[in-house]
Structure 1
Amino acid sequence: MARKPGVTVAGVRRRAQILHKAEELIARGAFQDMTMESIADALDVSKSGLYHYFKQKDDLLFAIRLETLTGLITHQRERMNSGRPYVDLVREMLYDGIKLVSDSPAKYRAIFELKMKSIAEREEEIQALERDYFHMMAATVQGAIDEGSIRPTDPRLVTQAILSMINHAQYWFKPSGRLSHRALADAYWEMLFIGVASEEWRTVPTATPIPRAANVEFINTEHSPPS
């Protein structure tokens, strides 16, 4: 991708370093109440150096949110164009999400918790990306249904279940704990794909299943998938 006029390699690298340092502040919970001046001190850059790339705190958060979602969408598009079985792609969506929570918890906090008062155009851009990502994930699940590896069900509901597993992990998962991110993703996948019922109980009649075309309502509208 060609660089914009006046944008240097050193400038791109410096901007990336500032964003990485900002992510560290977010991960430590030291970002939300800080001023641009204290952020500059914490990042070990001059105020003029920080203001050259970001004029306010929301610029930093917006950049982190934008680049994270853009990266997820790019990876998902590559995955969908790979020609591999869709069931493998669904499993990788779960794995990659847990890996991102493990490697970059600050990015998840920036997206889901630290939404500041962005201008409407920015929020519309972020929401459009969130919708695109959700719909691409649901289309991948639908591909697995069509190939017969996942039983007919609501692909949006399956996608929401995957995202819920990923998003909630940010509150409790510790990479240094007893489970690696891979082990957690494998355990989640087994619960999602195979289920938790024993062989004996799988034959016991249960309540009427949710129809595939059911209109699922979500209580938490802030984090609900786009319609």
Structure 2
Amino acid sequence: MKTTNVADQVTRAALELFASQGYATTSVQQIVEAAGVTKGAMYHYFQSKDDLLFAIYDRMLSLQKAHLDGIVAAGGPVADVVRAVCVDVVETSIDFLPEGTVFFRSMHMLPEPRLKEVTQRRREYHDEFAALLRRGQDEGLFRTDVPRSLLVAHFFSDVHYLSHWYSPEGPETKSQVAQQLTELFLRSITEQGRGADDRADQH
């Protein structure tokens, strides 16, 4: 067994056990047995079961933030940037659907310092996303009659709800879902789309 694989083995085993029987009822002994490692090997990488729960979500959070930074750095029209970010966050959330499901179900059990760290990092992502929306508002592309915080919450509530209904077996692929949710969101926040909706309401 290569030592470089120990952390991944333990993380995968913990994810499967947390998903099947719950975080609170899963013991460290069960995790190391499922991973095929010793407790000493596990503790070389993770100080506690809390660290494992954090690590499960950290992989997804770090990847999404890196993608966000890369998309923003590449530049382009703000509408295209927002579209690319939205598609990416839906697709990566689906890729990490088990991780997200386990974490959001059990995050309240994290110790306060870890919970604060997660909250802060999620806020940083949301703040960068909100800054993109503000650019679009400044250019007259996005509606300004709704607070940006509500626009951000509107989109990410759809993302966080994916685990309640999405199935990798179909009928929609992750790319289709990402494109559809993104289109629905952008139509709801664009000034042009809002004007069309307002005109339809008048008939």
- TM-score class, shorter: 0.7 to 0.9
* Residue 14 (structure 1) shift: 2.8
Q: Give distance in 2, aligned partners of 1:15 and 1:159.
A: 34
CA shift digits 1:43-81 (9 cap, x unpaired): 222222222222321110122233332332222222222
Root-mean-square deviation (Å): 2.6
Pairing 1:114–2:95 present: no
Larger helix fraction of residues: 2
1:203 equivalenced with 2:200 (yes/no): yes
> 1:141-168, CA deviations, whole angstroms, 9 ceiling, x for partnerless residues?
1122223332334322221111011110
Contact persistence 2:6–2:42 (CA under 8 A): no
Partner of 1:142: 134
Cα shift at 1:116: 5.0
Mapped partners of 1:172, 1:92: distance in 2: 23
Contact 1:105–1:170 under 8 Å retained in 2: yes
User: Structure 1, unaligned stretches of length 5 or more?
Assistant: 1-9, 207-227
Do the aligned residues in 1 keep the contact of 2:60 with 2:92 (CA within 8 Å)? Answer: no
CA distance in 2, matches of 1:117, 1:89: 35
Provide closer, same or farther for how the CA distance between residues 182 and 202 of structure 1 changes in structure 2, counting only shifts above 3 A.
farther
| The one of 29, 42, 60 aligned to 2:20 | 29
What's the % identity of the aligned pairs? Answer: 25
Kindly indicate whether residue 89 of structure 2 is the aligned counterpart of residue 92 of structure 1: no
Structure 1 match to 2:72: 80
**1:155 equivalent in structure 2:** 148
- List per-residue Cα deviations over 1:17-38 (Å, max 9, x = no partner): 4223433434x42342210001
Structure 1 equivalent of residue 183 of structure 2: 190
Measured in 1, the distance between the counterparts of 2:112 and 2:143 equals 40
3-state DSSP class of the match of 2:181?
Answer: helix
Query: What does residue 164 of structure 2 align with?
Result: 171
TM-score with structure 1 length normalisation?
A: 0.74
- Give the superposition deviation at 1:12: 4.7
Name the CA distance, whole Å, in 2 between partners of 1:87 and 1:177: 29
Q: Would the alpha carbon gap of residues 143 and 57 (structure 1) be closer, same or farther in structure 2, given more than 3 Å must change?
A: same
**How many aligned residue pairs are there?**
195
1:111-157 Cα shifts (integer Å, max 9, x gaps): 32111533322222122111111111111111222233323343222
Supply the AA of the counterpart residue of 2:201.
Answer: V
More off after superposition, 172-181 vs 141-150 = 141-150
SS in 1 for 2:161: helix
Unpaired segments ≥5 residues, structure 2? none
Q: C-alpha separation between the residues in 1 aligned to 2:108 and 2:181?
A: 32
